[in-house]
Amino acid sequence: MCSIIGYSGVGKAAPLLVGGLQKMEYRGYDSVGVATLNSGKLLIRKGIGKVEEVNKSLGLKEMSGQLGIGHTRWATHGGIIDSNAHPHSACTTNLAIVHNGVIENHQELKEELLKKGHVFKSETDSEVIAHLLEHYWALKNDIKEAMMNTCNRLRGSFAFVAVFDDSTLCAARYDEPLIIGITAGGYFISSDVLGFLDYTDRAIFLDNRDIVLLEGNNLSIIDFDGEKVERTPTQVAWELADSDKGKYAYFTLKEIYEQSHTIFKSMQQKKESVETFCDIIANAKDVFVTGSGTSYHSALLAKHILSKYSQIRVETVVSSEFQYSSELLDENSVLIAISQSGETADVLQSVKAAREKGAKVLSIVNVTTSSLARLSDCFLEVKCGPEIGVAATKSFTSQLSIIYYIADTIGGNLTGISTNRMELSKAIEKSLELESKIAEFAAQIKDAKDIYILGRSNHFPICLEGALKIKELAYIHAEGIAAGELKHGPLALIDKNSVVIILNPDDSTYIDTLSNAHVVKSRGARLIGITNKPHLIYDYCIPIPYVKESLLPMLEVIPLQILAYHLALHNNANPDYPRNLAKCVTVR
């Protein structure tokens, strides 16, 4: 989604805003813009591209002033062109806004404002906020009232920051995150703590219907009806600031490499939280698990793991579909929501649907200050640290390690995640050592038009995850297929141009999957095996070390992540910022 930031204080605003935007760029990178107030005049610079590029061409950091706002965009309404980039001013340049979210009634508001003589300069839904503020400010010359009136007219989801040429900075939120960062010399207001964590760990997490008014050093928070609101500052974990690439060329690679130790951290949960979490599951009439994208693949594995190792029957539903199938839930049901960001709109919608039925909500979430964590009866922390690469990697294996841990707590250590974690960690390290070989192999298949990934049982969700990584990182069509389903249709697609990757570890699926490999081979496809029991049928084999059978999915995803990363490099794609995507999807 978009990232927004505002700053008012003793420091020069522009470099602080640009630095914050760079840290939050994972949220959207179609365009960038900054507005600062200098000697009562608002200056706006904006353009399409990433923060570094736009800063280079427009000199964003050089803009003067101690008050300002900034934005990186993930386009929803209106093309990726300069005029749609934020900040947006209204008819005059006495105010400017940056917005994250979607204003559902923007068309209706725009028509009303056009009739009043307002002139619009962009195709965005966001611009109505600037014109509404201008309209209400002109009416009574009162910024507080203008903010309240504007917020009460907007439908949809929004977090916005506005700068006024009388030196006031204001912000408001509804269903989009917004956090105040408190420093000795001023305030930040941004979409993510990463926007200001280099300067302060003191933060106020705003709630829905909060409006922030900042005049000089005077900060007040009211609701949309003008009632004063008290919000207590909290301390944010400094380790969140660990968001440098270190020796790695890309965050994605760094995060792939971190997995041999991040899988441990996720098992270090508060005892009481684990007990509450597991009790709620064990006593529920029915258990639903949901998530989007990669987190949905974790949910699919949760179904296997919880049923096999702790005899809990689980229904998995992808979050974007959950609202259409929540009829079965009631007050004896429980929904486990899995999410890295905790802000995915589809996931939050599922939680809402479950709550309406009276069900309990548990979550497995990486960002513990997120909406999801706050909406849950109990949550377990993924603890993999900030995941900056847009494609999920380490959050996936950490989510899985929590799921195994829960299964063991309920079922009595049958998955063996705790007892075998050193072995698993070493096996992951060994798989990481294959990077240069996998990179060479990626060069051989970089021009493939289609890649199919086959596997059975608990390997099937990993096929889906591997295919998702290849699609989003390398822009190659890839499909995960349950190997037994091949004969029911997909086999028609296979010919000598096909690349087929087979997850064929030495477990109960080995023989059946191997026979699928023979069928594919006889159609002339190029065959790659990911296995700890190599076979001559494979044109190329990626060997994985031996680990306990139950833990194989966590291991075999590693070579697929590395492969997707190198396919991206060979195809000149930036693995950290796949085109058209954003890390945190707060629209539905």
List 2, 278, 378, 584, catalytic entry: 2
Pairing state of beta strands 168-174 and 210-215?
A: antiparallel
Separation CA 555–CA 138 (nearest Å): 61
Give the number of residues in contact with ligand F6R, rule: CB under 6 A.
Answer: 14
Nearer to ligand F6R by Cβ, of 178 and 299: the residue is 299
Burial of 156 from C-beta contacts in 10 A (0-12 / 13-18 / 19+): middle
Q: Which of 168, 262, 294, 415 binds ligand F6R (CB under 6 A)?
A: 294
CB of 337 to ligand F6R, least distance (A): 9
Q: How far is the CB of 377 from ligand F6R (least distance, A)?
A: 19
Give whole-number Cα distances, 60 to 14, 21, 186, in Å: 7, 11, 20
Residues 6+ apart with CB under 8 A from 208: 173, 174, 175
Among 220, 236, 219, which residue's Cα sits nearest to residue 228? 220
Q: What are the C-alpha distances in Å from 444 to residues 18, 79, 439, 466? A: 40, 36, 9, 18
One of 124, 333, 340, 398 touching ligand F6R (CB under 6 A): 340
CB of 145 to ligand F6R, least distance (A): 37
Q: How far is residue 468's CA from residue 557's CA, in Å, rounded to a whole number?
A: 11
217-225, 250-258, 333-341, 444-452 -> range binding ligand F6R (CB under 6 A) = 333-341
Which C-beta is closer to ligand F6R: that of 130 or that of 345?
345
Interface with ligand F6R (CB under 6 A), residue from 293, 385, 553, 559: 293
The CB density around residue 141, as the number of other CB atoms within 10 Å, is 10
- Spatial distance between the Cα atoms of 135 and 119, rounded to a whole number of angstroms: 12
Based on the shown chain and the rule CB under 6 A, indicate whether residue 63 belongs to the binding site for ligand F6R. Answer: no
Q: Is 318 in the site for ligand F6R (CB under 6 A)?
A: no
CA–CA dist 322, 220 (Å, integer): 39
Q: For ligand F6R, which is the closer residue by CB, 294 or 431?
A: 294
- Nearest-CA neighbor of 173 among 147, 135, 195? 147
Please give the structure tokens belonging to residue 522. Answer: 């006889």
Q: Cα–Cα distance between 450 and 448 in angstroms, integer? A: 6
Long-range contacts of 541-545 (CB under 8 A, 24+ apart): 542/434, 542/437, 542/438, 542/441, 543/434, 544/427, 544/431, 544/505, 545/426, 545/427, 545/430, 545/431
Q: Are 100 and 3 in contact (CB under 8 A)?
A: yes
Binding mask 358-397 for ligand F6R (x = CB under 6 A): ---------------------------------xx-----
Stretch that binds ligand F6R, among 161-169, 289-297, 503-511, 552-560 (CB under 6 A): 289-297
Does the protein bind ligand F6R through residue 585 (CB under 6 A)?
Answer: yes
- Min dist CB 362 to ligand F6R, Å, is 15
- Minimum Å gap between C-beta 143 and ligand F6R is 35
Q: For 569, left (φ over 0), alpha (ψ -120 to 50), or beta?
A: alpha
Tell me whether residue 27 or residue 459 sits nearer to ligand F6R (CB atom).
27
CB of 392 to ligand F6R, least distance (A): 4
Mark the segment that binds ligand F6R (CB under 6 A) among 69-77, 83-91, 278-286, 338-346.
Answer: 338-346
Considering only the stretches 166-174, 310-318, 341-349, 429-437, report the one whose residues sit in contact with ligand F6R under the rule CB under 6 A. Answer: 341-349
Residue nearest to ligand F6R (CB): 293
* 318/438 with CB nearer ligand F6R: 318
Q: How far is the CB of 241 from ligand F6R (least distance, A)?
A: 20
Report CA 78 to chain centroid distance, whole Å: 22
CB-nearer residue toward ligand F6R: 150 or 366: 366
Shortest distance in whole angstroms from residue 463 CB to ligand F6R: 15
- Distance CA(212)–CA(296), nearest Å, equals 36
**544 makes contact with ligand F6R (CB under 6 A):** no
Binding region for ligand F6R (CB under 6 A) out of 145-153, 288-296, 450-458, 517-525: 288-296
**293, 294, 464, 563 from 468: Cα distances, Å:** 8, 8, 6, 12
Q: Comparing C-alpha atoms, which of 203, 261, 212, 206 is closest to residue 234? A: 203
91 is catalytic: no
Is residue 2 annotated as part of the catalytic site, yes or no?
yes
341 binds ligand F6R (CB under 6 A): yes
| Helix (H), strand (E) at residue 23 | helix 13-23
Choosing from 292, 398, 457, 531, the residue that interacts with ligand F6R (CB under 6 A) is 292
- Quote the CA–CA distance of 54 and 74 in Å, as a whole number: 15
Which of the following is catalytic: 151, 383, 583, 584? 583
Residues in region 469-508 near ligand F6R by CB under 6 A: 472
Q: Catalytic residues, which ones?
A: 2, 583
Q: Which residues bind ligand F6R (CB under 6 A)?
A: 292-295, 339-341, 344, 347, 391-392, 468, 472, 585
